[in-house]
Amino acid sequence: MAEYKAISFEQDKSNGWSKFQNIEFASKFGFVQINFAEISSVMQEYPIVFAKVNETSYKLAVLLGTAKDENLFVNENFKWNGGYVPNYLKQYPFAIIEQDGKVIVCFDMESGLYQEDGVYQSFQFFDEEGNPSEVFGKKINFLQKYYENQKLTQKMVDILAKYELFTPMKLEFDGIYRIDEAKLNALEGEALKELQNSNALSVVYGHLFSLQKVKKLKKLAAKKQEASQLVEDMDLDALFKNDMINF
């Protein structure tokens, strides 16, 4: 589980972080959150869905596996074998957390990438004058834009939830929803106008277009299962060959 620490000049002026060498941290993510700005890229490769947070709240997400703890786009060497990488993964090991009305840049201390003074560092947090280093400054800009897009996206998703347009998807795990097209088509007047004016309708169109990619996920899952079964069968053959009894 992530353990986030706020980054500040006072505490981190001589510290930095190392670049991660693989994407193992994402190997158990069956889905991750995305935002409105990513839809055009995501829908070309992956299914866009809605993940249930609680009884009244949902978040826009990209489906990456057919099981909750399975990411079909992280291979056995923990390398990304998809095309587009969701921004949720690009921000790692950083995150922006809102606390007491303030937005704070934080670092996941469980990542193993935080480096203290005197240890080899790929990147410094701050320069000698106390300003964010060039790399850290770019990361901050990325995080701020990502955070703003997430808030904007959540407003759109909340409008869809307001009109109870979600229906469960048939998957191996619960909590993933799609748009109920019958309910969508029944909308009229002010409800439909609100969806149009808020760009929530664009989210819906991207989502519906992307659902054809569910077949791709199922094929990847079947291929992975076949490969796993083949390895298991080979191991059994080797076992019996080594344990043959001679009379």
Which helix or strand (DSSP H or E) is residue 31 part of?
strand 31-33
Rounded average pLDDT over 84-106: 94
State the pLDDT at residue 177: 98
Residue 34's identity, in one-letter code, is I
Q: Is pLDDT at 221 greater than 50 in this prediction? A: yes
Rounded average pLDDT over 134-158: 97
Rounded average pLDDT over 32-45: 97
Give how far Cα 72 sits from Cα of 3, 88, 206, Å. Answer: 26, 16, 21
**Selected residue with higher pLDDT from 242 and 61:** 61
State the pLDDT at residue 99: 85
State the pLDDT at residue 122: 85
Indicate the pTM of the whole model.
0.88
What does pLDDT average to over the chain?
Answer: 90
**Selected residue with higher pLDDT from 223 and 163:** 163
Rounded average pLDDT over 60-87: 94
Burial of 119 (0-12, 13-18, 19+ CB in 10 A): exposed
Q: Is pLDDT at 245 greater than 90 in this prediction? A: no
**Selected residue with higher pLDDT from 186 and 21:** 186
State the pLDDT at residue 226: 80
Q: Give the pLDDT confidence of 160-195 residue by residue, as tens digits.
A: 999 999 999 998 889 999 999 999 999 999 999 999
157: left (phi over 0), alpha (psi -120 to 50) or beta: alpha
**Lowest-confidence segment of 73-87, 109-123, 146-160 by average pLDDT:** 109-123
Q: Is pLDDT at 243 greater than 70 in this prediction? A: no
CA–CA gap between residue 161 and residue 179 (Å, rounded): 10
State the pLDDT at residue 58: 98
Q: Is pLDDT at 233 greater than 70 in this prediction? A: no
